[in-house]
Amino acid sequence: MAILTVSRQVASFGDEICAAIANKMNYKFFGRKDIEERIVKLGFPKEKLKKFDERKPGFFASLTRDRDEYLDFLQTAMLELASGNDCILIGRGSFMILKDLPNHVSCRFVSEESTRIARVMDEFNLDEKSARKRIYDFDSDREGFMQSYFSVDVNDPTIFNFIMNSSVTDVDTIAEMISVGVKKMITPEREKAGMASIDELLIGQRIVNLLVFVYQIDINYLRATLSVLGDGKKCVTLHGIASSRAIVERAVKICTCELPEFIVKSEINVVQDYKAYVQ
């Protein structure tokens, strides 16, 4: 029926609410470890994951190719998990990666600061000062992650369908409210359109992965979008920044050979001597 994405403050009972929703709706819940495992299985080195996964990249980390490769693997993982439909994805900008899907519902779970501090003190056996610092560190990482990768303020309430405060509403009630809301929002027509959109996004992401990881084409911020032309023919358009016209021509030629059923166009900007990464 739908794809739910969840953003949550630390100690807002995000995982518990997701598990309750999954139980009520018979959905698959992909938590932190599930998503980490999928990213690593796709090929991103496990030892590098801690530098980027739901963290604001440090100055030098943000200037390395690893940062963009992490984003490619993350987007692939999210799209593959979402392609099964009827699922819940938590964190890592999932609500931004899937934001344009017609069958997507985004949620954010928050709690009052005093409640969060008390929960962290209890869960980790910390004093108030240490608990407050732990919350600050988590919030800073997640806010920095969203700003760095998706240029959004995760505290902006206008980017979510539901915002729930677990300080004043219990887990089961929140899960029930969201379950009812999702069933009313997502019609069979929206579900069908959403699944078609996921298929297109996956094709676009796999084109990017093919060019970057298999053919090692040096195009920065590479994206591939799909469309249908006036004559009904399918089209792939490449976007990004390259340092030469020859690189662009090679990318277009590879896509044309690999995807003979598509017309391939380029909107890649050519900037001579462009360098996006630390050498």
Q: Look at residue 279 and tell me whether its pLDDT is greater than 70.
A: no
pLDDT band at 203 (very low <50, low <70, confident <90, very high): very high
Please tell me what DSSP assigns to residue 62.
G
d(CA 104, CA 87): 10
Q: What is the rounded (10 degree) CA torsion for 173, 174, 177, 180? A: -100
> How long, in residues, is the chain?
279
pLDDT band at 171 (very low <50, low <70, confident <90, very high): very high
pLDDT tens for residues 225-275? 999 888 888 999 999 999 999 999 999 999 999 999 999 999 999 987 656
Give the type of residue at 274: Y
Environment class of residue 9 by beta-carbon count within 10 Å: exposed (0-12), middle (13-18) or buried (19+)?
buried
8 Å CB contact between 166 and 110: yes
Residue (of 49, 39, 4, 8) closest to 25 by Cα position: 4
Give the type of residue at 200: E
Determine the pLDDT at residue 60.
Answer: 54
Determine the pLDDT at residue 57.
Answer: 72
pLDDT tens for residues 11-69? 999 999 999 999 999 999 999 899 999 999 999 999 988 888 888 777 555 556 788 89
Residue (of 262, 269, 258, 277) closest to 210 by Cα position: 258
pTM here is 0.90
